[in-house]
Structures are given as C-alpha cells and as structure tokens.
Chain A
Amino acid sequence: MFSFGSLFSLASIGLTGTNLNLLYISIILGIIGIVLFYFYFRIVPAKEYLHEEAEAAGYERSNEYVRDKLSDKPRELSWKIFLYDDSKSIGLRYIFTSILFLCIAGSFGVLMRVSLTEPSPTIIGPAQYNVLMTEHATLMIYMFVLGAALGLGFYLLPSHLKLKKDTMGVYTSFAYWIWLAGGLFILISRAALRWYFYPPLSLELTQVGGGEFAWLAVLGLELIFIGLMVASVSIIKIIAFDRSPDIKLNQMSLFTWSILFTVIMGVTSAPPLMVGLGMLFYDYFNPIFFITGTNTLLFTILFWFWGHPIVYMAVIPFFGIIYEILPKFTGSKVYSYNSGVWGLGLLLILSELVWGHHLLNSGLGIEWITFFTTMSFLVVIPSAITVFNFIATLWTAKSIRMTVPMLFVLNGIVDFIIGGITGVMQSFAPFNEQVHGTYWVTGHFHFIFIGITMGISFAAFYMLFPTFTGGRKYNVSLARWHFGLTALGSYIMAFAWSVGGFLGMPRAVAGYFGFFQGYQDASIIGGVIIGIAQVIFLYNIAVSWLKAPSTSTDNAFEQGNTGPTDSHSAELNKVPAVSGGK
C-alpha cells in the first residue's frame, strides 16, 4: 500500500548516503527553480511594465512599441534591461554577465598561476587547485565565451537586420536566466573534474575524486545547454524570419553570418553531450552507463563531439566582429564579402569533423587517427581564407587609424596566426603523441582565446562603450595600457607554456618536476601582468562612467559596417573617429 513515508524510504532500493542527499537536494533545487520562474514570468511585472511604457507612448500593443521604440535603437545599461524582454536588453544582460564571469574566472586563473611558484604546491593545495582549474575553464567557456557571443548577437542583430518583429523575448529571457543559474551551479559546486567531466572520475563523489558536489556541476552544465538551445533557436528565428524584407541574405552583415553559423553549430553539436550528461546523472543513482568499464570511452566521444565545436564557437562570432571593425578604421570595405561568408561557413562544416583529434591516443584505431588528423589539416583552409581576408583588407586600406579597438584587432590577428600554427602542428600524429596533454596545448589555445575571444570582446566593448553609457567616452591612455599589458602578458604566458609544453610539461597539474620551474615562473609573470591589465580596464570603466556624457550614442558599429547597401552606416563612417569612443 502506498504511503507518503515509503516515498522517502528510498534506502530500500539501494539509494543511501550521498545518493539520497543528492536526490533530495535536486528535488528541492528543482522546486525552488520552478517557483522562481513562476514568479519571474507571472508575478514580476516585466510585461506590465513594458505595457505601461507602451501605453504612455501611445501604443496599444507592447510588441509594436518594442519594434518602433526599442528594437534597433541603441540601449544603455540600466536596471530596465532586467524588465524589458526585447533582444537588445537581453543582449546587454548577456554581455555584462559575461564580463562578470570573465572577472571571476580570470581571477581564478591568476590564482592558479600564483600557486605554481614552487614545484610542490605551497600557497594553494592540490584540492583547491583542481577546483580552480575546473572553474576557470568551465566558467570561461560556458559563461564568458557563450555570454559574449550570444550577448553581442542579441545586441547587434536587431540593428544589423532592421528587425520588424521581436517576439521571442520571453523565451530568450528564460534562456538567459537558466544559463545564469547553470553558471552559478557550476560556481558553487566546487567540482574538480576539469571541463571534460570525464567519468568515472566525475562519478567519484569524494574530495579526492571529482568533488563531493560534482553532480551539481553536471546539472549546471545541462541547464546551460538548455539555455544555449533556446537562445540559439531564438537567434536563428530572428535572422531567418524577423529581419527586414529589405535585407536579402547576401546583404546581411558578416557579423550576422558569423552568429548564424555559431548558433547552427550550437544546435547541431550540443545534443549528444546533453544526452551524455543525462546518462552521467543517471549513473549517480544507478551506475549502468559509464562506470562498468566497457564503454568508458563513449562519454569522451560524446563530449568531444561538442567539445571541439565549442572552441570554434569561441572564435567565429569574433571573426564577425573583426569584419565589422575593420571598415571603420581602414576607411575601406572588407576585401571580399563572399570569401568572408564562405570562409566562416566552411569553418562551420569542417570544424564539426575534427573533434576526434582530442582522442588520438585513446586506442580508437588507426583509421580514427588517419581520418581526424587529415581533417584537422583541412580545417585550416577556411581559417586561412578568413585571415587572408583580414590581411587583404588592411593591405588595400588607404590609411589605418590605430584606435584602441583596432589595436585589439591587429593583435588578435597576429595571435590567431601564432595560435593557429601551433594548433595545426598538433595534427601530425607523432607530434600529437608528444604534446597532447602538455602545456603546448594550453599555450596554443590561450594565444587564440586571449587574442581573439577576449581581445575582440574588449574591442567590441570599447566600440560600444559610448552607447552602453549614454554617451560617455573612455580614457584612451588607460585603454591603451589595458591593451598593451594584456597583449604583453599573453605573449609571455602563452610563449612560456608553448616552450615548456614542447619539452613535455604536463598541464592541469598542481605541482611539477623541478626542471620546469623556469617556464612556470615566466608564465606566472605573464599571468599577473594580464591580471593587472584587467584591473586597469575595470578602473577605466568605473571612472569613465562617472563623467558627464560628451558624445552621441549613435554608433556605426551597431548599425553594421559590412552590409553592402547600408547607407546609414556609410555616413556614420565618414565621421572622424572620436577619441575615446566609437
């Protein structure tokens, strides 16, 4: 006979201790989440607030108000962005949340560097180091990279596409909140899994394994994926159905294309890992999938099917931003619009076919190694087309203005070339055998992530700064210091890693052989310099925001520079660059 008591005596079916607590906490978290969402979407007056504003402006429907008054207009940062559910407000939410998580994860990164001053762990023990390593990687990838890419997409697309509708706001808002909840789950989970989440380690819920609350990180990651899916579908809908009929496909800005390819990559490659994470979570209760041994590698395969595309999602939107920034400061069009679109499109297709190169030494077969190393060489073709397109644009330019965003762009291109070459070298099977799992790989992707992902995000942020702040200018000399120190620090750090890794210095370790200390110390200096640079950036934002507005919020970058028929932005481009903005 069913009784309420028997529902909670789950110990009888083998659920005890940690598993039981896990189940209770999951249920409680689930209920709290549902209640919060209910409040947010029903009782919190987001819709009413917007409706009142619309009525005050003489509109009967808030949708039309959003379209005419909000949709493609510049927006500044204020608390209203949490109440409005239009694309631009949600874009701002994503952008500023991603900056917050960049600071959190970045400070974790600096802490990790500092803890490696001695070959044996001193300041920070291995348990804390492993947590910092996991959080740095996971939060950077899922909160900073995805936040910046989606945020810039939601913020810039309505103006680039002259949106005629903006009707997915509630869903996109849901996507934002669930993405944020996922990030917070990962932050508080103190998981020590590395961002791979490989079982059986992630099933080892102890201090010495994946961390006692590693399951919370698994839940958090699943939430982030749900958020990503909803946001991606929303962006695809904006681009495919909501754009102005005046804008044909071949007139869309290159940034629009890059975001379209990014979200297509998201929806096509994340589902296997979403299923994998579900199986992993089920294993906490009833270990049948990954712990029995015969199919341990299955999770790694599901993971890397997503794990490689995500690192391309961290560069493709920022290539789009580079295409948008170049015309502004070179005074000429992008060298080849078609090459730009085809380069990014091919990158989308080929980058989904190379993920197996993360598993070359796992014993998956010679055929596996042959196919994925060959594809890894071919994926360089679209990257090279894109970089040559940047270089050709700069080459044919009449004059190049060295503004702060332009410095970030030029540095990003150089970083991408270095990181790209150190990356493609790993496609050689014997070389991969030597450097896989060493700091060589860390150096390779930090060249690209700091140069392209972070650097171009900063470039976009500086471009949009007057808009975000209602017409304030940033301090140019501080911004130049920010740029210079970030670039210098990243070169020192990533170069020291690359050389050390070439000699076999393993990554993801809390201690190391004494003879590697020189490379570690050099990278500590680089890492600390990068940290100082970001403090300068935050200080610059703070003091500039306190000044009085002194420029207009109209922005060529926001209107789109690469749409061939965009006369509005062409006029804006003729305006000489204002120091400290636009």
Chain B
Amino acid sequence: MNDKTRKELIWIAGVLVVLIGAAIGNVIYISMHNDNLAQNVDAHPTYPSNATIIRVDATQWSWAFIYANGTESVDTFNVTVGKPVVLVVTSIKGAEQFAVIHDLSIPKLDVQLYAIPGQNNSLSFTPTVVGSYYFECVEYCGLDHYEMRGMMNVVA
C-alpha cells in the first residue's frame, strides 16, 4: 500500500466514523421518541393516557381543530401548558373542492405531520412554555395555500 492509497483510506475511514456515528444517534432518537413522529393511526401508536386528543381536519384552505367535547375552532386552537397533546390529522373535502394533501407544521415545537385524504396521521407533543406559536401548511395545496396558517396558544 503506497502513501497515496493510505491517505485516501484514512479520509474515507474518517468520513465513515462521523456519518455512522450520526446515523446511530438518529436511530437512537427515533427509537426513544416514537410518539413525536408522524404515524398512521392504523399502526396503533401509543400515547400518554392523560393526553388531550385534538382532531384536525384540513380543507382547502383552513384548519379545523375539534376537541373531544365537540368544540371546534378554525385556524387557531388552545392547548394547556405541560399537558401532552395528541393531534389526529386528516384531509377532508370542502364545498365544491377536493380533499388534497396538506401538511401541518408547528416549526417551533418540532411538530409536523401530513394531512392525507382517507388516512389519519397522529403524533403527540407536550408544550412547555406559555405563548403563541405559529403553525402553517407546508405542502402546496392550491390557490390559497399561503393563507392556510394560524396561531396556537399555549395557556396556563
């Protein structure tokens, strides 16, 4: 093995160590935080038993948040600080329109899940700081896609 080949192999080994290390870290995170990643409800993901379950219906172009007691709010919703929240998201047909693919994202809380017609996706998160957080649709869904956004309030 000449000097040149040795240098090349050292570089490749270095890259391998960094990347495989990062990949292992990522797998460990996924296995520990299953409930924070978007999953199909049909796969029966497990969530904290005291969680507030909020059903989210996406239409062209608004978000409807429906609580277990039947109260509904559009493009805004309230959650309680420190209490786990489970979002169950799907896409439904508006008047004269199609049920298309949307994507609910709350960037500052690391929450993102696709709203897919005929499929319920869910994840859970726990807000820890009181305040307002913006959420938005991040999958292009037609004319007024950009207006499909709002504020989530974390209240005490």
- Residues of A with Cβ closer than 8 Å to B? 121, 126-127, 130, 133, 192-194, 196, 198, 200-201, 203-204, 207-210, 291-294, 296-297, 300, 335-336, 339, 360-366, 369-370, 373-374, 377-378, 380-381, 384-385, 388, 392, 424, 427-430, 433-438, 503-504, 506-513
Q: Given the complex of chains A and B, what is the CA–CA distance between A464 and B37 in angstroms?
A: 50
Known contacts A437-B139, A504-B107; is-contact A363 B121 (Cβ 8 Å): yes
Segment 63-110 of B: residues with Cβ below 8 Å from A: 97-101, 103, 105, 107-108, 110
**Closest Cβ neighbor of A503 among chain B residues:** B107
Given A363-B43, A388-B11, 15 other A-B residues pairs in contact with their CB atoms under 8 A: A198-B139, A204-B98, A207-B143, A300-B101, A361-B37, A363-B114, A365-B40, A366-B39, A380-B19, A381-B15, A388-B15, A428-B22, A437-B103, A506-B137, A509-B146
Q: Is the CB of A200 within 8 A of B100?
A: yes
Q: In the complex, what residues of A have CB within 8 A of residue B105's CB? A: 436-438, 504, 506
- Whether the Cβ atoms of B33 and A209 lie closer than 8 Å is no
Most B Cβ at <10 Å: residue of A200, A203, A291 = A200
Residue-by-residue, is B7-29 near A (CB-CB < 8 Å gives 1, otherwise 0)? 11001100110011011011101
Chain B residues engaging chain A, CB cutoff 8 angstroms? 4, 7-8, 11-12, 15-16, 19-20, 22-23, 25-27, 29-31, 33-34, 36-40, 43, 60, 97-101, 103, 105, 107-108, 110-114, 116-119, 121-122, 134, 136-147, 149
Distance between Cα atoms of A200 and B59 in the complex (Å): 13
A509 to B146, CA, bound (A): 5
Asked whether B119 lies within 8 Å of A297 as measured between CB atoms, the reply is yes
**A202, closest chain B residue (CB):** B100
With contacts A364-B40, A428-B26, A503-B107 known, is A130 near B143, CB below 8 A? yes
Contacts of B121 in A (CB 8 A): 361-363
CB distance from B135 to the nearest CB of A (A): 9
Cβ-Cβ contact count across A and B, 8 Å cutoff: 199
Q: In the complex, A34 Cα to B27 Cα: how many Å? A: 54
Complex CA distance for A253 and B111, rounded to whole angstroms: 48
Contacts of B4 in A (CB 8 A): 335-336
Contact B38 A366 (CB under 8 A): no
Please state if A204 and B100 are interface contacts (CB–CB under 8 Å).
yes
CB distance from A410 to the nearest CB of B (A): 20
- Contact A428:B134 (CB < 8 A) given known A510-B146, A511-B147: no
A370-B30, A374-B27, A504-B108 as given contacts; A363 in contact with B119, CB under 8 Å: yes
Chain A residues with CB under 8 Å of B22's CB are 377, 424, 427-428
Q: In the docked arrangement, what's the CA distance between A412 and B114, Å?
A: 34
Query: Once the chains bind, are A363 and B39 in contact (CB under 8 Å)?
Result: yes
> Are B40 and A126 in contact, CB atoms less than 8 angstroms apart?
no
- 8 nearest A-B residue pairs (beta carbon): A504-B107, A293-B118, A437-B138, A509-B146, A363-B121, A377-B23, A208-B143, A363-B40
- A215 to B16 Cα, complex, angstroms: 45
